[in-house]
Amino acid sequence: MSSPFRPSLQRKSSEAAHPQEKRAQQLATLLELNKVLLTTMNVDRILHLTLTAITIGRGLGFNRAMLFLVNEKNETLQGMTAVGPDSPEEAGRIWSYLAQRQESPSELIAGLPPEAGGDSRLTSWVKRQRVHLALNECILSRTVIEGKPFNIHLSPVDEESSETPCRRGCQLHSGFGCMVAHELSRDPRVYSFATVPLWGKGKVIGVILVDNLYNQNPITEEDLHFLGLFANQAGLAIENAMLYRNIEEVNKELKETQALLVHREKMAALGELSNTIAHEIRNPLVSIGGFARRLYRSTQMEAPEKRYAQTIMIEVSRLERILNDVLQYTQEGAVPFQVCDVRAILEESLAMALEGLETGEIQVQKQVEEQMPGIMGEERQLKQAFFNLCTNACQAMNDCGVLSIRAYPMSRDGSSYVRIEFQDTGKGLAPEDLHNIFNPFFTTKESSLGLGLPIVHKIITSHGGQIEVDNRPGEGATFVITLPAHQGKDV
């Protein structure tokens, strides 16, 4: 990313100042820069602010700065971000712009927009770098391992000279000396740069690399000492931000786990209640339904009692469906899986859904691959899930529209899956309802118990799959199911 820097005029003028004045000026500058690091706990923002503070003219005044963090899991140094121009022309424009600004370093840096990321050649190059810490001939890994800064001055010396910092094996290595010089300088044989460790609490967590490519100011030992003081504060700020982010992630996981446990407890209680109610209600329902059918058959066609008996039969059937839905949603326990034919299950589910429609104004468009892999599952449950989605789509279109069903194999992260899409041309879902559609007993329909989609969600997740919704308000919705494919021959 481009850097808000200019040549450090303060350092030049301070050379003639009294040592104590110079020291006070440096401490004041460090205080200003440290203020900036306290403005946020966002890791990416702190990384960007750190490098900006290093390159700003009234800060440390380096032309460019690059930051690498230690990845302890795979023992590598990983490029994170960079600040600095990609050309002398860009550098000149930035210097001219900042020469007119009079803010303090903290005010100037804090007023900059968040890092866009990946918008410069320098940043792109840095983010591609991975350096193994075991390669102790690389100057970056040595900075981590030895925990001390390095001030490198490359010049046209013999290739076998011990002054060349990198020799072989490091992915930052080139034919002449160091890849850092080869990639970051205009002449890899004449290049100066410095590295300082980023210290956390008792360990090195990263490396900062700086150079003065465009103004060719030498990097003095005093510059390096000053940079090291700031890097120590920046390292602690970065580590604290990373710990804060980890705490947030753990807290989020705990909340999700708590919500899952509460949900399971609710379902367990609901299951016990449902089983008790089912035994108490089922027998009377059977008796009522049986007597209603007997009355219906024995009553004359023109008698009003026949219509009454028919109403009783319809309502008894509706109560039985509600009872079955509740029992199905609250039932626990493993179900034996076998290889299932997705095409056949889809056909049967669709036929069942369309059979119950009062009108035939639903157009069905099917695109199902001929060579579909099987999926491990329980056929009855999968049929119920697909039936619910087909019925839900038809109801969303008021039994008039286009229902599109697509099924095809796909691969993701080296694994095979079956993807099934149910798309309708209804009005879509209200955005405020999206987070509730898989919650039990949530419904926007007057004659629904709100268990259709929750049952689908439970069946799909129990089969190791996932269900998502692509909502288009005013145009319709698409429910997308992804199920693991059976690792065997196609069905």
- CB atoms closer than 10 angstroms to residue 367: 10
What's the pLDDT score for residue 187? Answer: 57
Look up residue 367 and give its two tokens.
């695109």
Enter the DSSP assignment of 362.
Answer: E
* 413 belongs to a structural domain: yes
Last residue in a domain, options 196, 226, 248: 248
One domain for residues 321 and 349: no
Using DSSP bridges, classify how beta strands 361-368 and 130-132 pair: parallel, antiparallel or unpaired: unpaired
Residues 303 and 229 in one domain: no
Q: Is there a single domain that holds both residue 354 and residue 368?
A: yes
Same domain membership, residue 381 and residue 300: no
**357 SS3 class:** coil
* 3 in any annotated domain: no
Angle at the Cα of 325 (from 324 to 331), degrees rounded to 5?
85
d(CA 479, CA 329): 20
Q: Are residues 359 and 434 in the same domain?
A: yes
Residue 98 to residue 3: CA distance in whole angstroms: 10
Q: What is the dihedral of CA 154, 160, 165, 167, to 10 degrees?
A: 130
Q: Evaluate if residue 156 carries a pLDDT over 80.
A: no
Q: Name the domain count of the chain.
A: 3
Q: Which region among 30-39, 312-321, 417-426 has the lowest average model confidence (pLDDT)?
A: 30-39
Q: Give residue-wise pLDDT tens across range 377-416.
A: 988 889 989 998 998 888 888 878 899 999 999 988 778 9
How many C-beta atoms lie closer than 10 Å to residue 320's C-beta? 15
Evaluate whether 449 touches 326 at the Cβ level (below 8 Å). Answer: yes
Q: DSSP characters for 45-72?
A: HHHHHHHHHHHSTTTT--SEEEEEEEET
How high is the mean pLDDT of the chain? 77
Range of the domain at 381: 338-490
- Note the helical H segments in 111-218: 121-127, 139-146, 179-184
pTM of the model: 0.52
Which of 296, 330, 364 is the last residue before a domain boundary?
330
Predicted confidence band at 7 (pLDDT cuts at 50, 70, 90)? Answer: very low
Summarised one tens digit per residue, pLDDT across range 405-415 is 999 999 887 78
- Domain boundary (273, 306, 330) is at 330
* Same domain, yes or no: 59 and 161: yes
**So what's the pLDDT on residue 175?**
32
Helix (H, G, I), strand (E, B) or coil at 172: coil
Residue-wise pLDDT tens digits, 193-234:
889 999 988 899 999 999 888 888 888 888 888 888 888 888
Task: Evaluate if residue 20 carries a pLDDT over 90.
Answer: no
* 257 lies in some domain: yes
Q: Does 229 share its domain with 118? A: yes
Whole-number pLDDT of residue 164: 43
- Residue 177, pLDDT score: 44
Give residue 97's pLDDT band: very low, low, confident or very high (50, 70, 90). low
Whole-number pLDDT of residue 384: 87
